[in-house]
């Protein structure tokens, strides 16, 4: 069973959600005004479970929207949108856990989601994500990076830039040896090792800022950790190399699992979604629990919705803005969230500027990410983002 938090932005949004469940028109008139607290969406419930869920939530003072086809004489499975205040949802959870197994599981899931929203997560990087937003500086040692255009291929330049980012306040430095920009071609393992290992060795001896390696290859990750890295940023969410999960477990380091639709070569060629945030949340839920099943510690798992990676942009659809506005839904899974919006194409499309003129737009997107629950920002402009995050953290906190 999969469920996640749903944020209602206005009455039209709430009505659209209920129409997707096939709620009666009369019921929508009653329930749409009730949808501006917390809404949790369940998928494919047995009809009797959905009816009990609705009855119990009404008894708690809230409501639940279910399909008209769940009730007799139809008796079909239904999605359900549970709506209520925090106290009503906690009360509902307690009422459901005393019933038969399927309904009790629904109660447990509600308690888990609400508990995730109420808790601060501690990253295994010596810092508490609940106290401040962490800034991850991007250091691409590739000749075809979309933003810095190969400035740091020469190791001496990369080390110099790492020192600059440390002085500017970076909490993590993310080093990548293979470009993941749209249309980028993969490089061989030996070339990736040649690019990243000397830089990590040099940087780890010069600065105290934790180092992350941006790779999906287990051998590169292990060699990087041996050279001084303390985190792995895997854009394939442990799908690119069957040995990666074991490497993370054995070395007991944090890993970031990212959503990407397709591969960098094809990800921007007509991606399609019915509900972009629901699909991202379900995908990352599955990948996080895969990681747990392979022995990776829960405290070592970070999730990234993959801004710009197989997301629609332009032509009246902007998935990346939708993701940032609904980021709290991903937060409901209970893991720290990393967002990488820096200088992405959607910012250029909105502002009408090229990549080297996207700082202000990036800061706007990143400020909203913090407000909606991001724990880590992966950025090119460390100093400016650090200062913005200090202000937003103060306001949000």
Query: Which residues form the catalytic set?
Result: 344, 378
d(CA 172, CA 230): 9
Tell me the sheet residues that pair with 6. 39
Give yes or no for a contact between 346 and 324, defined as CB atoms under 8 angstroms apart. Answer: no
Q: What is the dihedral of CA 152, 208, 342, 156, to 10 degrees?
A: -10
d(CA 331, CA 328): 5
Q: Is 389 exposed, middle or buried (0-12, 13-18, 19+ CB in 10 A)?
A: buried
φ, ψ for residue 265, nearest 5 deg: -70, -30
* Strands of the chain, DSSP E: 3-6, 38-45, 63-66, 78-84, 122-123, 127-128, 134-140, 172-176, 211-214, 231-234, 255-258, 301-304, 313-314, 317-318, 338-339, 376-379
Give yes or no for a contact between 211 and 176, defined as CB atoms under 8 angstroms apart. Answer: no
């Amino acid at each position: 069973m999969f469920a996640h938090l749903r944020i209602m932005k206005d009455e039209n949004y709430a009505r659209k959600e209920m129409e997707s469940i096939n709620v009666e028109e009369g019921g929508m008139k009653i329930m749409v005004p009730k949808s501006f607290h917390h809404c949790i969406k369940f998928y494919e419930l047995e009809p009797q479970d959905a009816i009990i869920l609705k009855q119990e939530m009404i008894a708690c003072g809230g409501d639940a929207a279910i399909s008209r086809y769940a009730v007799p004489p139809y008796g079909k499975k239904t999605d359900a949108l549970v709506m209520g205040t925090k106290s009503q949802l906690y009360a509902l959870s307690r009422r459901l856990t005393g019933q038969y197994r399927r309904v009790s599981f629904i109660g447990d899931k509600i308690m888990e989601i609400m508990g995730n929203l109420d808790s601060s997560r501690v990253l295994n990087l010596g810092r508490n994500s609940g106290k401040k937003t962490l800034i991850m500086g991007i250091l691409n040692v590739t000749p075809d990076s979309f933003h810095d255009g190969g400035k740091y291929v020469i190791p001496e330049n990369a080390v110099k830039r790492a020192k600059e980012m440390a002085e500017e306040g970076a909490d993590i430095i993310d080093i990548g040896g293979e470009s993941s920009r749209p249309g980028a071609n993969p490089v061989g393992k030996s070339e990736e090792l040649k690019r990243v290992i000397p830089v990590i060795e040099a940087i780890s001896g010069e600065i105290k800022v934790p180092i992350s390696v941006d790779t999906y290859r287990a051998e590169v990750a292990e060699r990087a950790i041996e050279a001084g890295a303390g985190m792995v940023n895997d854009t394939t969410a442990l799908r690119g190399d069957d040995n990666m999960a074991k490497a993370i477990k054995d070395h007991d380091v944090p890993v970031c699992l990212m959503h990407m639709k397709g591969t960098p070569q094809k990800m921007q060629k007509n991606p399609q979604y019915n509900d972009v945030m629901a699909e991202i949340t379900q995908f990352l839920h599955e990948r996080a629990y895969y990681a747990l099943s392979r022995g990776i510690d829960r405290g070592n798992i970070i999730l990234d919705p993959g801004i710009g990676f197989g997301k629609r942009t332009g032509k009246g659809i902007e998935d990346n803005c939708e993701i940032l506005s609904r980021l709290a839904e991903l937060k409901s899974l209970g893991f720290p969230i990393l967002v990488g919006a820096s200088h992405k194409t959607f910012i250029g499309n909105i502002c009408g500027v090229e990549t080297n003129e996207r700082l202000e737009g990036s800061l706007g997107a990143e400020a909203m990410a913090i407000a909606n629950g991001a724990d880590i920002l992966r950025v090119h402009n460390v100093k400016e983002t650090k200062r913005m995050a200090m202000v937003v953290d103060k306001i949000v906190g």
